[in-house]
Structure 1
Amino acid sequence: MCRHLDQHQKHQIAQQVAAAMEYLHSKNVVHFDLKCDNLLVDWKDPRHPICKVGDVGLSEIKRKNLVSGGPRGTIPWMAPELFHGSSNKVSEKVDVYSYGIVLWEMLTGEEPYANMHYGAIVDGVVNYNLRPTIPSDCDPEWSRLIALCWAPNPAARPSFTEIAAQSKKA
């Protein structure tokens, strides 16, 4: 889905995903598997695609401020804190990390870490702050947002409310 999108389509889809995730988080639902493959897009009007976030099979309702449980999702899109064996409580910020990967996917049309084995991805993300390379010709606002979403510390990542508000201004 994320290949061959023009700038307008990328922006519209990114806004719609942020709004959908803001809604899920407002209902205390953490998705855990946000990626382009789980975005459903109606292309009847290519200038105004309608995007819905699908595949909520791994979602869980957040209790208090954290969600319990071990790693879940698809490795290239998973936040570093999901890999920590000692960290069985995570926040909705795992979805924000994944959103950063989704933005990168839309930007490049590529799959993250396509030529790497899952073990190397996990080791790199957790121990060496590995992230896909943001192309140098990337819009500075997108580049900044992607970097914020990928922050190693979940508390430093923006909320989807902040992301949705910012994308409406752009």
Structure 2
Amino acid sequence: MAPELLNGSSSKVDVFSFGIALWEILTGEEPYANMHCGAIIGGIVNNSLRPPVPETCDPEWRILMEQCWSANPDIRPSFTEVTDRLRAMSATLQSRAQAPGS
């Protein structure tokens, strides 16, 4: 849940949630699985709780996730931008897979 949803605002809350979903897809884990719900809500409201990004994460994925779950909604990309960036990352992966010697 985006922090501003708990504070009464609602801009780009879905982008925040999508960033967390990207983390779940990347790791196959549930964020904050071992935490009490009160601690989770407190961490989100204080903008001090984000799941740890694995060291092996591609830098472009890391940047996109961290921008999506930014405490500042103005830093979060629009879904149009998210889609464009995901398509570009996919095209890069496809071209690497098709490159000779891969």
TM above 0.5: yes
**Structure 1 residue runs of 4 or more that deviate by more than 2 Å after TM superposition:** none
TM-score (norm 2): 0.82
Q: Please list every run of 5 or more consecutive structure 2 residues that lacks an aligned counterpart in the other structure.
A: 90-102
The alignment status of 1:158 with 2:81, answered yes or no, reads no
Is the 8 Å Cα contact of residues 68 and 77 (structure 2) preserved in structure 1? yes
**Partner Cα distance (1:82, 1:154) in 2:** 11
Equivalent pairs, count: 89
**Partner Cα distance (1:128, 1:140) in 2:** 22
RMSD: 1.0
Q: Which has the higher contact order (CA 8 A, sep 6+)?
A: 2
Q: Secondary structure at the match of 2:71?
A: coil
Aligned partner (choices 48, 54, 59) of residue 135 of structure 1: 54
Shift of 1:105: 0.2
**Partner Cα distance (1:114, 1:144) in 2:** 23
Aligned partner (choices 97, 115, 118) of residue 34 of structure 2: 115
Give the structure with the larger strand fraction.
1
Give the structure with the larger helix fraction.
2
**Partner Cα distance (1:141, 1:156) in 2:** 16
Q: What's 1:90 paired with? A: 10
Q: Please list every run of 5 or more consecutive structure 1 residues that lacks an aligned counterpart in the other structure.
A: 1-77
